[in-house]
Structure 1
Amino acid sequence: MRIVLVGPPGAGKGTQAAFLAKNLSIPHISTGDLFRANISQQTWLGKLAKSYMDAGDLVPDEVTIGMAKDRMEKPDAENGFLLDGFPRNVSQAEALDEMLRSESMKLDAVLDLEVPEEEVVKRIAGRRICRKDSSHVFHLTYSKPKKEGVCDACGGELYQRDDDSEATVRTRLEVYHTQTEPITDYYKAHGLVVTVAAVGTVEDVTTCVMEALKPDEDGK
């Protein structure tokens, strides 16, 4: 299967992507991983991306598209892939369509994880990270530490990352609505969007996702 995963920040895309990739035996291709890999390996695309990032500029679509194209041409993506964070806007979606058409391929589904805005704010703004070990993560509502402000695992101080503050989360949501959400409408026009309410336990959402991706009676 060839799937694009979309949804606002805090929708649980990373969690669902890992599960889907494993169960469908396809690689999970995330924009963040692509950038990190290309920059660390010092590919020409990585060097180009870094030059824009170092200057404080946005990386142009062509560079992101180039990285995605290179990754999708790897042998492990021959039977499908799960794209997470790409395409990020309509022009990238059009470029992806053109890329797939040139290889006589097409997308099977665009999985849209839907979460109410206030739930997104609650999920992200309530997150607290341990200063000693950032893998120790707590939540003021869903996973409270035994002692306020103190990590259960190592006793380190818990803090809120700057990009987890409510103001920052709302700004990120605004950017999502303006730049990324329009691709959902673009793909709806192509009949590819499968919407799943990503509220509830991880297991419940995963069950809904797998059910939604099952072919219908016509095999579509």
Structure 2
Amino acid sequence: MKKLILSTAALAISAGFAMAQSDKTVRLGTEGAYAPWNFVNDAGEIDGFERELGDELCKRADLTCEWVKNEWDTIIPNLVSGNYDAIIAGMSITDERDEVIDFTQPYTPPDPSAYLAMSPDVDLEGGVIAAQATTIQAAFVAEQGWTVVEFPTPEETVAAVKSGEADAVLADKSYLDTMVGSDGLVMLERMEAIGGGVGMGFRESDAELRDTFDAAIQSMKDDGSLNEMIAKWEVSSQW
């Protein structure tokens, strides 16, 4: 009897939480400048793998969601300050970030980081490497003791290589794949395995909301729809 009462109470709490969540508009923050993960399409709307993923997660969680575009270098501070409720922006899970915000389980495995340059013979150790500021790639280059120049946006890192300001750019391979062959850009053979997969970020005070999205991610893994979406957008390897 005691178990029955406890189970009934647990169901009531879960149902109450689900109703409260369904009445709430959850704001999803993304960069909108990192195709194919997230970008702004010709209609001026957020598009890409994470737009499709986020919409599906909200549907499964019975949540009303809206999208907020935010520059990368302030994306964590603006989450913490309440400008939106979650980050879904190609953000790799790292110990450093996990000290400030909480993450769901990863929705993609770690994406290889690659180098794009104007020549296949670039001396990485002796050259200048461009990377987007506050990314795992910028941290990696600095840790090697190489020369790194950081830029606010991913487009600027590639532009620096084209202009000769940098010898190569280090970024997610899926992002750089879209630019190979453009203006003579070539992908180097060397790849780096850094980061712990990509997940959604939440304020540490929003554990219940994080758990709701975590369950939705798991449901997509379980029924195979997440792998289908990853393959469609070619953002990483599959689970």
Q: Would you say same fold, with TM above 0.5?
A: no
- Taking structure 2 as the reference length, the TM-score comes to 0.31
- The structure with the largest alpha-carbon Rg is 2
* Structure with greater helix share of residues: 1
Which is strand-richer, 1 or 2? 2
Q: TM-score, normalised by structure 1?
A: 0.33
